[in-house]
Chains A and B, each alone.
Chain A
């Protein structure tokens, strides 16, 4: 197949013994993945608007382009052309640096993800753990962004996000460890290869549910959108962020959703493996379906309260994740 040949060629280029060739290919790869990510984020922004509109008996965007496909682009350009305002008591440096760092971390995590057997930047032995180490930085950066803007609503949102962090992070890491045990490796490719006969969604459905809920919390999607709770905290940490950084933050939302869906697709739905189509298509299709689920959750549930989230995390998710670990170990050993 043409694409497999191309990616095979690509793979040999990436791992070329000549360091200059390798660097060149890494740059090309970075460009390809950035375009892929932006396209997904863009298309998904549109799909989300249309889907929500359909659930709510509306039409959604219709005017800009066919079926309003360019509406988000128009919004983006509008935001870029706005005046950039920073509150007087804000920490300008941190406020400017935090969104940029957030986007960089998200992009970095997506770079670590194998899009097909050959289309990948690296084949780290502990790839899964590296991803979660970097994922652990994002709530802290969001916290910094909230505090540095100097607003009280942003500060309240930041406090909530730290409280939330301690409720979902531990069950999530336990499920990740379970996946590692079941696959016998933390290498993403071997995890995917181990699932070619039986996806872990079937082996550990409890783990999938826990991980999905924790991922919703990690991505700050409803019902866990406490930091940006629009009917309570106006926009949380985004309240005092304006113009280009607000546009960046909106894009960040969709790129992070892309990242989250990719991680779920790899850990539980066998990532790039699938018949006929090349691996990259399978991974994108799976990520797309998972993102649609995230949207369906968004339009149907009301927001949870912080103490209930803590209760959910410690009373239900944590014990369930341990049970999941035990069950999986028994099945794998048998």
Chain B
């Protein structure tokens, strides 16, 4: 039978923005997928070269608009490393709390988009958004902004947490734990959902490592790799937490890993608040100044466990500006695995696989 070539995207309901997939179909079976990217390319890496160090964080937030704080923090941490600025223990805990809240918000967004891509007429989507909004309200309390925070400063964050922030957060987390059970009843106990997810889009350990995927995709294959544990930053090593791994490598494992990660993040936030009380140092960092201290290291590289996988930034310093910044965005690498995973599946499965890989096209294109 002759192959049908269909062009999915860049304008398509479930390409998460502007992904364009050229798919060769044999009947209903996928023979080959060719992702075309670059529809959202803004040249962030080049833009950074024209700005002073601390003028760039607002650009960084737009790299991954679902989890803006992760990229913001990564950039500021890279600059801190280059300039040789230390982050105090207290500021470290504060950043950890904000980052984990951001991770939960991002994962809730993702649960919604997965159910939507599987065809659940927006119910899971709206539920995910409802709970994400509560987290965003907390972040707004702490930072002053709902989505694009620009909250990181050299050596700390913009301002102290508000007085009732801890109380509100703990209350919200208890509420969220109740909601997670609701999601389980509603989504994971649905036999059709299991049918669509289990055994679909399997990625073996070897392939996962060779393709360089990170984050929940890698952990769902059974590789115990989490930057927070393997290469700890801030005060993650003082906390007792375990990266969650499953071994099937299919869609369902990717989904479950993320659900467990939300629960783990809730635990991390609780512990961090407990330890924050006895932590030393100053939470507030240096005010933003155009002229910053001279770089100590000419080259700095920092890696972080962003919600979507391992994000890295490689910075070569000029005197007052970045000479070159290179970004390893996790979704770009994960997207490269799509053809390998989805080959041989039916067309309907392409979208569930694409959804569980968690694509944010802004992050892919940078």
User: Residues on A close to B: CB < 8 A?
Assistant: 52, 55-58, 152-153, 156, 159-160, 222-223, 225-226, 229-232, 234, 298-308
Contact = CB atoms under 8 A, between A and B. Distances in A.
6 contacts: A156-B25, A226-B348, A229-B119, A232-B351, A301-B120, A302-B119
Nearest to A160: B28
Contacts of A298: 121
A305 B127 contact: no
A156 B23 CA distance: 13
Band of interface residues on B: 20 to 34
A315 to B, nearest CB: 13
Q: Could you say which of A57, A153, A232, A300 has the most chain B C-beta atoms within 10 Å of its C-beta?
A: A232
B119 A223 contact: yes
Given A56-B122, A156-B6, A159-B27, 16 more contacts: A52-B123, A152-B6, A159-B28, A222-B120, A232-B119, A232-B347, A232-B350, A299-B120, A300-B123, A302-B192, A302-B193, A303-B196, A303-B348, A305-B195, A305-B196, A305-B346
A232 B14 contact: yes
B195 to A, nearest CB: 6
B122 to A, nearest CB: 6
Contacts of A225: 119
Nearest to A298: B121
B123 A304 contact: no
B190 A301 contact: yes
Interface string B161-192: 00000000000000000000000001000101
B123 A230 contact: no
B349 A305 contact: yes
A231 B195 contact: no
Contact of A299 (B13, B118, B121): B121
B348 A230 contact: no
A232 B116 CA distance: 11
Contacts of A226: 348
A52 B121 contact: yes
B288 interface: no
Contacts of B127: 56-57
B115 interface: yes
Given A156-B347, A231-B13, A231-B14, A57 B130 contact: yes
A271 B346 CA distance: 42
B291 to A, nearest CB: 49
A56 B119 contact: no
